[in-house]
Amino acid sequence: MNSEHPVKLPLLMTDPYVICPHCGNGTGIGLTVIDSFLMGNSLTCNECHAVTDAWQAYSATINHAVPFLHDAAALFVGCKTAIFTIDLSPNEVNKVSFLAHGIPGTSQILRLNYTPQGPIHPVEIQGNDWSFRRGRDIVWLSAVPNALGAQQSPPSAYPVKVGVYVTFSDATDEQHSEKELSRAFAALAANEFLDMVIPATIAIEFSCKKLISDLRSKLALVDEKISDKDLLPSVVPIIAKAVNMPNLPDEITQKMRRLWGQRDKAAHTGHLHQPYTRDSAGLHLAAAVFAFRYLVLLRRKATELGLLNGRPP
């Protein structure tokens, strides 16, 4: 591990937001975007003032045509995006410390981009052993002339500023369910849908079971054996009624059923039901994020009513 200490910079983005499905601009910042929807409220775009709801906006975000915007959806489960610049010149190798820019070596990387602002292309020296999702402390960048650089740019053109964009999840910052959802986002970013399905369902199973277990002595919850996939639609509504919360919207519950169906298929055969597109996987992960936020709200309401002592999910 590198001994340099992390430095928190202003461009370490942690505040989640969604994309307006009408105008395409960012709108609605913070976890309250989803929480407000789950309480039955609409969402008004800050830019075009169109009225939508957080589910439509989040769905448009996680499946946006621009991959960078998928990362905004991941911020709702504790992922972060670091943006910084470095100087790079031809015939030089530049050492870049991710740790010094707030990216721990324990992180999973969802997306990494180098954007030059001049006549070179940054190339990462990988040492013949590289994994996109493995955390690392140090990378080494070399400069390769691009089409503009081939025109013999004057020395004054260097060094070139290179923007570095990294979206990552740091397991040390997260509760268990958020950690699993972060793993699911890392898998979705790599189009590894089987690896997305398992942690997404684990996150909701764990949150459901923990909430039910903590409330069993206070509420008349069913004692008979219920399958994990039926906890959310069958038992959680009893808790919602007890704390005066709306039920989880049917569309989200149905998508969670499909996600659990994929989990069951994977558990029994090692494969998913096909066809399973990127858009379908994105919507199923979106449903898991909303279900998780819903369970967090239920816990908060139960705590406010004195049914729980405020233990984290």
59 inside domain: yes
Query: Range of 216's domain?
Result: 174-304
242, part of any domain: yes
Amino acid identity, residue 12?
A: L
Q: What is the pLDDT of residue 153?
A: 64
Same domain flag for 192 and 240? yes
The reply to whether 310 falls in a domain is no
Check residue 120 and give its pLDDT: 84
User: For the whole prediction, is pTM greater than 0.95?
Assistant: no
Domain-embedded: residue 3: no
Q: Pick 32 or 12 by higher pLDDT.
A: 32
Which one of 131, 148, 172 terminates a domain?
172
**pLDDT computed for residue 18 by the predictor:** 95
Strands of 93-97's sheet, edge to edge? 93-97, 138-145, 120-125
For residue 6, pLDDT over 50 is answered with no
For residue 27, pLDDT over 70 is answered with: yes
Q: What mean pLDDT is reported for the chain?
A: 86
* Residue 182 exposed, middle or buried by CB count within 10 Å (0-12, 13-18, 19+): buried
Mean pLDDT over residues 271-277, rounded?
A: 96
Indicate whether 237 and 289 sit together in one domain.
yes
| Residue 106 domain-assigned (yes or no) | no
pLDDT (tens digit, 9 = 90+) per residue, 65-115?
988 889 999 999 989 999 999 898 877 888 888 888 888 877 888 888 999
179 with 234, same domain? Answer: yes
Q: Please tell me the total count of domains within the chain.
A: 3
Q: Quick: pLDDT tens for 130-150.
A: 555 455 678 888 888 776 554
Q: What's the CATH code of the domain at 206?
A: 1.20.120.330
pLDDT at residue 313 tops 50: no
- Give the pLDDT of residue 7: 40
pLDDT of residue 104: 83
* pLDDT value for 105: 79
